Structure 1
Amino acid sequence: MKELLIGSTLSALSTGLGALPILFLQQVTHRWRDILLAFTAGIMMAASTMSLIPESLSSGGIYQLAIGLFLGVLALSILERNVPHIDLEHNRKGIEFDKKATLIIAAITLHNLPEGLSVGVSYASDTDGVGNLIAFAIGLQNAPEGFLVALFLIQQKINKIKAFIVATLTGAVEIITAILGFILTSFVSFLVPYGLAFAAGAMLYIIYKELIPESHGDGNEQMATYSFIVGLLFMVIVLQVLG
């Protein structure tokens, strides 16, 4: 449990780490934003396909994997359909946001719930290192998200310090759901392969539905593609080191 609390906290508060540069910057170009999103997508792709899916297969089987994957995708689909999402307007001048600040913050917070579950389920797995690996991958995904939320709030004339604090808190809910996911899978062990597959499905949904399309919306497809490959290779190296 101690390792879970440390890992989930560091992963969740990565939103604050990502928001930290906002204290010194006013604007970020779409080019660098797209490169960062694609790099994150590569990291999450490697974590899903080379860690979560194999672990689900080894602890369960193909049926548990298939069911868990589709449940993960379904959960994110329901959130996407019923919760307003942070949509960035594609233009070359900078980043513009919808002005409904409260709804955007609520959306980001709710979208972090399945990510926390993913971390908790991974720590419940019997395989050493899986929890730390997924917490690391989710943390890297949270960093650019925290940056974008903080940037959005500053553009709404909110104080930099307050924007930083709010962006950090949007990821804090992951700690609660991580503990919930850990408890459920620890006491009901047959849920572990489903939970791992659920985490993989949720991450794959985010990659294909959110990160890749967002990184390809402003004419930066080639740089984003290279960044995706670099992110994937980076995570493969991490997997080898932890393995």
Structure 2
Amino acid sequence: MEFAEIKEWFFGLNPIYQSLTGGLFTWGLTALGAALVFFTKTVGNKTLDAMMGFAAGVMIAASFWSLLVPSIDMAAHQGVIEWLPAVIGFLTGGLFLRICDQYLPHLHPGFPMDEAEGVKTSWRRATLLVLAITLHNIPEGLAVGVLFGAAASGVDPSGTATILGAISLAIGIGIQNFPEGTAVSMPLRREGVSVGKSFWYGQLSGIVEPISAVIGAAAVLMVQPILPYALSFAAGAMIYVVVEELIPESQVHGNTDLATLGTMVGFSVMMILDVALG
């Protein structure tokens, strides 16, 4: 099958299936990152910090170009105050992640067990690591689903949400998911967990993305007026993750300059993808 035929086939899919495909792609790259445990037992802190910084940069750029800008444009076409849905959704997304962060037991990669967050539990380290990554995979999946739903269904009167833009968002999130899978599987492997289990837990953190992508697409298709709020909600949730988790984690080993450069490179890559394809 030629590329043109694949493109025509994909563009003709129901938005729900497009969102599912995008979510499965981002999950697949999480699994690919986790699969590094089959080839090596450890990845240096400098490499991991640069990768986490890169992931932060991708999420910041995606939040602005792929989510907040379309949210503001859509609000204008709906006849409401342009910035209002963006602000409400953005702050609500951050608040949602704050509540999840406070109550869901989880452990950020690279931190000891006594620094686990959320409700106290006897769950194993592997489970807590998976939950930490899963927390910020939820808004990523929602972002992909909402954008595909808006683009493919024609519910976006402003025309700022396009299928190519949704594809670029899925590609960008997929790229930054690679180090997230590695960030779960590698610490477990270093602690003596088997290769198979380390990979399993690493990829498991991304399985929520196709699920939340489908939920996001279905929500905007059923309740079209919430679209600008849904986009900015995903943006707020992702920015919360970047500031509260990814940037601090990328600098905890003292590699601040390297992590910062990684963030700038990630931002640039996502900006190029969004502007070129969107």
Asked whether the two chains share a fold, i.e. TM above 0.5, the reply is: yes
Give the Cα separation in 2 of the matches to 1:227 and 1:109.
22
**Which residue in 1 is equivalent to 2:158?**
none
Decide which of 234, 250, 263 is 1:215's aligned counterpart.
250
Deviates more, 1:226-235 or 1:161-170: 161-170
Deviates more, 1:216-225 or 1:74-83: 216-225
How far did residue 198 of structure 1 move? 0.6
Q: Does the Cα contact within 8 Å between 1:124 and 1:192 map onto a contact in 2?
A: no
TM-score (norm 2): 0.79
Deviates more, 1:191-200 or 1:7-16: 7-16
Q: What percent of counterpart residues are identical? A: 38
Listed one character per residue, the Cα deviations across residues 151-176 of structure 1 (whole Å, up to 9, x for unaligned) are: 13323433212321332222112211
**AA aligned opposite 2:138:** L
Listed one character per residue, the Cα deviations across residues 74-129 of structure 1 (whole Å, up to 9, x for unaligned) are: 1111111112333344xxxxxx6536323333443344323222221121223212
Give the Cα separation in 2 of the matches to 1:26 and 1:97.
19
Decide which of 15, 19, 22 is 1:4's aligned counterpart.
19
Q: CA RMSD in A?
A: 1.9
Distance 1:218 1:169, change over 3 A: closer
Decide which of 142, 148, 167 is 2:183's aligned counterpart.
148
Q: Does the Cα contact within 8 Å between 1:117 and 1:178 map onto a contact in 2?
A: yes
**Which residue in 2 is equivalent to 1:159?**
194
SS at match of 2:252: coil
**Which residue in 2 is equivalent to 1:65?**
86
Q: Does the Cα contact within 8 Å between 1:84 and 1:104 map onto a contact in 2?
A: no
**Which residue in 2 is equivalent to 1:168?**
203
Distance 1:35 1:190, change over 3 A: same
**Which residue in 1 is equivalent to 2:107?**
86
**Which residue in 1 is equivalent to 2:46?**
31
How far did residue 240 of structure 1 move? 2.5
TM-score (norm 1): 0.89
**Which residue in 1 is equivalent to 2:57?**
42
Listed one character per residue, the Cα deviations across residues 174-219 of structure 1 (whole Å, up to 9, x for unaligned) are: 2112111111111110111001001111111111111111112222
5+ residue gaps, structure 1, are: 90-95
Give the Cα separation in 2 of the matches to 1:43 and 1:110.
17
Deviates more, 1:146-155 or 1:190-199: 146-155
Distance 1:111 1:230, change over 3 A: closer
**Which residue in 1 is equivalent to 2:270?**
235
How far did residue 137 of structure 1 move? 2.6
**Which residue in 2 is equivalent to 1:16?**
31
How far did residue 62 of structure 1 move? 0.9
Q: Does the Cα contact within 8 Å between 2:139 and 2:238 map onto a contact in 1?
A: no
Asked if residue 103 in structure 1 is aligned to residue 128 in structure 2, the reply is: yes
Give the Cα separation in 2 of the matches to 1:142 and 1:168.
10
